[in-house]
Amino acid sequence: MLKIIIFVLLFVANTFVSSEYIFKGFDDRFKPDWWQSEIIYQIYVRSFKDSNGDGVGDFNGITEKVDYFKSINVGAVWLSPIFQSPQDDFGYDVSNFKMVDPLFGTMADFDRLRDAFHERGIKVILDFVPNHTSDENPWFLKSVERKEPYTNYYVWKDPIINENGTRSPPNNWLGVFNTGSAWEWNEKRQQYYFHAFQKKQPDLNYRCPMVVEEIKNIILFWLGRGIDGFRFDAVNYLYEREDLADEGKSYKVGILDTDYDSLVHNYTLDQPETYEMVRVWRELLDDYSSSEKKTNFFMVECYSPINNTMLYYGNKTSPGAHFPFNFLLINSINQQSDAYDVRDMIKTWMLNMPEKMWPNWVVGI
């Protein structure tokens, strides 16, 4: 019901929003690319359609329904994570970025899915997790062993040794899921590793050039398999402040000291290096697009203040993502909202958005 209300209010609110906001920096000669004009439909693979009766949705189940997507005028489908994974976090813990998870089928099944959508003019976008891997990923297992070149693929730090001889994590950073410290001790390596999310999801170290190259190679691998773009998950977590300074207290009431919201996360979110890495990825995609003569699309997820969110666009001379997700409608609109509220959300995005960039409106998650 809330989605229906949002769609209706968007239609009504459009009459209240000046065209200077809607066509920011564009004139009547502008012709939109596919990603600027199409509906992108997220498919949660494990629950969409089960083709073999094992209780889990799969590639073949989706392929059986491609005509449905065509009938509702979807221009692109975005698949939730399909990579090989222990499934401790529903696929957001990747053990092999170049393999599909057998839970959903084979690579041949995926290729048939891709071809079926392409035959109907529908693009295929993959959900990609650049911030971390599974702790069962061979990269991590080799990093624990300090096997080169994997030694520094993750964020490893020595403990603080207290006066009584006990050890403590390197700083006060906390995990997103309110589990306390974001640092986990590894007995074998005798160091802590950083995990913004679960302890089974160690953060990659983007200050290691080999990690940057690994991720580039994975992007190129999937582009080579004919996919049309990516949704990059949780990009605002990519980098952390290098000197490991403690984060300040938020002084929010009613929460525990171990809760994520008890700190202000100005050292672990939206770091300057993160925006630069997004621009590096965009350049890679654009270079590939120019050779293929088609646009390979790149959108990013970041739950950040709007001024930080807008930086993920980059600028006209050094573009970042085609767009960062706009969560204003689903986070701020409810059944008591009216068209003026929707108008204000639209204006907030449009007035903050850099010139010649493109808006988006997430209306369901």
Q: What angle do CA 192, 193, 195 make, to 5 degrees?
A: 135
Instruction: Report the pLDDT value the prediction gives residue 26, as an integer from 0 to 100.
Output: 75
Q: What are the tens digits of pLDDT across the range 289-309?
A: 998 889 999 999 999 999 999
Choose which CATH entry (3.90.400.10, 3.30.1050.10, 3.30.70.990, 3.40.640.10) describes domain 132-205+244-264. Answer: 3.90.400.10
Map out the domains of the chain as residue ranges: 132-205+244-264
Across 137-158, average pLDDT: 99
* Residue burial 283-310, b: 16+ Cβ < 10 Å; e: rest: ebbeeebeeeeebbbbbbbbebeeebbb
- Work out the percent of the chain whose per-residue pLDDT is above 70: 93
Q: What is the largest CA-CA distance in the chain?
A: 72
Q: What are the tens digits of pLDDT across the range 223-242?
A: 999 999 999 999 999 999 99
Instruction: Report the pLDDT value the prediction gives residue 12, as an integer from 0 to 100.
Output: 45
Q: What are the tens digits of pLDDT across the range 182-218?
A: 999 999 999 999 999 999 999 999 999 999 999 999 9
Tell me how far apart the alpha carbons of residues 42 and 45 are, in angstroms, rounded to a whole number: 9
| Distances 295 to 75, 87, 223, 316 between C-alpha atoms, Å | 14, 31, 11, 16
Query: Counting beta carbons within 10 angstroms of the beta carbon of residue 244, is it exposed (0 to 12), middle (13 to 18) or buried (19 or more)?
Result: middle
